[in-house]
Structure 1
Amino acid sequence: MKALSLLGSTGSIGTNVLAVVRQFPEQFRIVGLAAGRNVALLAEQVLEFQPECISVAEPALVSPLAQRLPPSYHSRIVCGTEGNCAVASLASAHMVVSAVVGAIGLLPALTAIRAGKDVGLANKETLVMAGRLVMRSAQQHKVQLLPIDSEHSAIFQALEAGRKQDVARIILTASGGPFRTWSKDDLATAAPAQALAHPNWSMGRKISIDSATLMNKGLEVIEARWLFDVEPEQIEVVVHPQSIVHSLVEYQDGSVVAQLGIPDMRIPIAYALSYPKRLELGLSRLDLAQCGGLAFEQPDHERFPALRMAYDALAMGGVKPAVLNAANEVAVEAFLNGRIGFTRIAEVVDRALQETAQGDELDLDAILAADQAARAMVTRALQA
């Protein structure tokens, strides 16, 4: 039986991870749970899965959580970044699943790797911020990073069809989000509720906005560059509105291997948890005859400049990808709170990329300092 620590247990990915664990109790057990501020749901999860260690976002939430749990759990509650790292380094855990959203995933992921744990990675920001550092650490500690994002899981599976040295291109698919057909003028007036209405996937608020701007795909490009050890120019993005083809790998002989499936996150989650086995999930099967046409188109970099910015950040190197991510997190939150318009998200991110200082991508302190500097710069710009 595989023992799991789960970071981000109350979010969209986290609840799907627990659904898979619930379906296969003879194969998986939960030893650690970390969540943000949804104390009510976390308490329900604790009572069901009975973990050894439980973490919440901040000290103020420890007492509200304890009040919902029997006294035997009170000594198991920790909080904040230290709490996440404690859950990520539990001695009893065989694997850590990082399903948190944002930069808060970096330190727990590094902690898990340094503790010798395999990591199921749904937190793309870990590799966006510190890809070279994280992959080097994984190699040193001989642990696996198993992708949970549907696109990276698809690539991971397609890469098993050939040799690494024979790969010509990695092709990430993007749904195009809710604004795929909107004009540039219409995008300027887009409201948060409209941006959150993803046509195919049920995701958290931040990721839904990133999908609408195509920043999510840009972050995935950076993640793929490090996870699969390919050059940025080998990674392409195509818009595929049906979200049936999850991504593709082209080999040097011209063969293209694709992974297809219904848009259900339990499929890549279960594959990461059980790799190299596959589990019978009991989900509806993909019916190609019922799919109709499968369309593909080039992304529009003029209407959705965030994707280009991700390639720019990769080209700049150093701490610039961390700057990109931090600036985007602040800008997305401002949009969700009604403080800026939709198209302003990309504008403030671009400004942060141009105006923040460079740093060493192998220096964790430099990466974290760049993250904070970008947040401060964007916050000041938005206040002005």
Structure 2
Amino acid sequence: MKYISILGATGSIGTQTLEVLRNSNNSFKLLGFSANKSYSEIINIINEFNPEHVAITDETTYQRVKDFCSKNNICIEVSYGIDGLNKVATLPVVNIVVTSIVGMIGLVPTINAIKAGKDIALANKETLVVGGKLVKAEAQKHNVKILPVDSEHGAIFQCLQGNKHSEVKKIILTASGGPFRGKTSEELKSITLKDALAHPKWTMGKKITIDSATLMNKGLEVIEAHWLFNMNYSDIDVVVHPESVIHSMVEYIDGSVMAQMAATDMKLPIQYAINYPNRQNSVVEYLDFCKIKSLTFENPDISTFKCLKLAYEAGEIGGTLPTILNGANEVAVDLFLNNKVSFLKIGDIIEECMNIFSYSNNFTINDILETDNKVRKYVYNKYGD
């Protein structure tokens, strides 16, 4: 049996991870999890999985959960804030930590989990985007596996199995194109929040759905792929594949291309990551190739969707520039979700921050956090009123 913790158990990836655990024939035991405000979901998880520890990042919800467990004599440790996240990430008996919490808040607990010798099933993009150099160094030092949960990186990971890294020519990340594929900048001026949240293929949280619409999600995945698979940015391609049947590909030096194909369902890469190197019976629908009418591919429009271009630029320059990119994006998306800025303004804000903030190639975790904080304050102060 494997013992598991989940950071962000009530989010999109977290809830699907719980579904995988329900179908795992008791091969996993959930020891700890974290959540934010979803009180009823937190109580349901406690009642169903009987974990030993829960961390709550919202103070009001923390107090409600603590009171509920006390009144009902539920034997569970309830903790609050970043200290609670670090506790869940480093529980002594845990073998693997699923890091599905969204945003920069996931960076420090993930690094602490690595230092504690826990394998990481990684769904938190920000961890590698802003701290890839530090994270990889710690993982190597502590002999920890970083197992990708994103469907694209999970696909590449599978396509690399049994092959030599020296024989890889390039990796190819597929993108659905989001809800605005083919639209011009002029058409995007009138985009509403409802339009942007209507993803054609994937059901995700709001922030990731907006990132998909701007193609920033794919840009962040490019930076992640650089760190996960030790590839130069010039050898990481993005291709738009609207059907989302092929989740990504690897091209080898002999011209062979290996593609991982499956239903559009995040439970598969989650299941593969937490069971690696083994496979379990499917928790998703099997593909029926006779029902697939066509597979189409096209180049991404980086002129209209400049977030992808900016991500490549930040990744190639490196240092703390990806932190500036990510921090500006997180705030800009939050402002868009709250109707403070327009859809196209998201890319403009990111570009502005990349131009005005200085970056460093020698940095610590504290440097990352300080840079992120400066960028966030700037964007909120300028555009949040």
Q: Shorter-normalised TM-score: what interval?
A: over 0.9
Written as runs of structure 1 = structure 2, the 5 A alignment for 1:178-327 is: 178-327=179-328
Amino acid aligned to 1:11: G
Partner of 1:109: 110
Partner of 1:130: 131
Contact 1:66/1:74 (<8 A) preserved = no
The whole-number CA distance in structure 2 between the counterparts of 1:156 and 1:361 is: 29
- Deviation of the 1:58 alpha carbon: 3.1
SS of aligned partner of 2:69: coil
Aligned alpha-carbon RMSD (Å): 1.3
Partner of 1:144: 145
The whole-number CA distance in structure 1 between the counterparts of 2:313 and 2:69 is: 48
Contact 2:106/2:126 (<8 A) preserved = yes
The whole-number CA distance in structure 1 between the counterparts of 2:202 and 2:250 is: 23
Amino acid aligned to 1:301: I
Contact 1:161/1:257 (<8 A) preserved = no
Distance 1:361 1:192, change over 3 A: farther
SS of aligned partner of 2:354: helix
Contact 1:154/1:248 (<8 A) preserved = yes
The whole-number CA distance in structure 1 between the counterparts of 2:216 and 2:348 is: 12
The whole-number CA distance in structure 2 between the counterparts of 1:155 and 1:75 is: 38
Q: TM-score, normalised by structure 2?
A: 0.97
- Cα deviation code 1:141-171 (max 9, x no counterpart): 0000000000000000001142101111010
Amino acid aligned to 1:82: D
The whole-number CA distance in structure 2 between the counterparts of 1:202 and 1:323 is: 27
- Deviation of the 1:61 alpha carbon: 2.2
| Aligned positions, number | 384
Partner of 1:93: 94
Partner of 1:30: 30
Q: Spell out structure 1 runs of 4+ moving beyond 4 A.
A: none
Distance 1:361 1:247, change over 3 A: farther
Contact 1:130/1:362 (<8 A) preserved = no
Contact 1:152/1:224 (<8 A) preserved = yes
- Cα deviation code 1:247-290 (max 9, x no counterpart): 00001111111000010111000000111111102532111121
Partner of 1:45: 45
Q: TM-score, normalised by structure 1?
A: 0.98
- Deviation of the 1:181 alpha carbon: 2.2
Percent pairwise identity: 44
- Deviation of the 1:73 alpha carbon: 4.0
Amino acid aligned to 2:357: T
- Deviation of the 1:54 alpha carbon: 0.4
Partner of 1:77: 78
Distance 1:62 1:306, change over 3 A: same
The whole-number CA distance in structure 2 between the counterparts of 1:137 and 1:381 is: 37
The whole-number CA distance in structure 1 between the counterparts of 2:362 and 2:262 is: 36
Distance 1:361 1:335, change over 3 A: farther
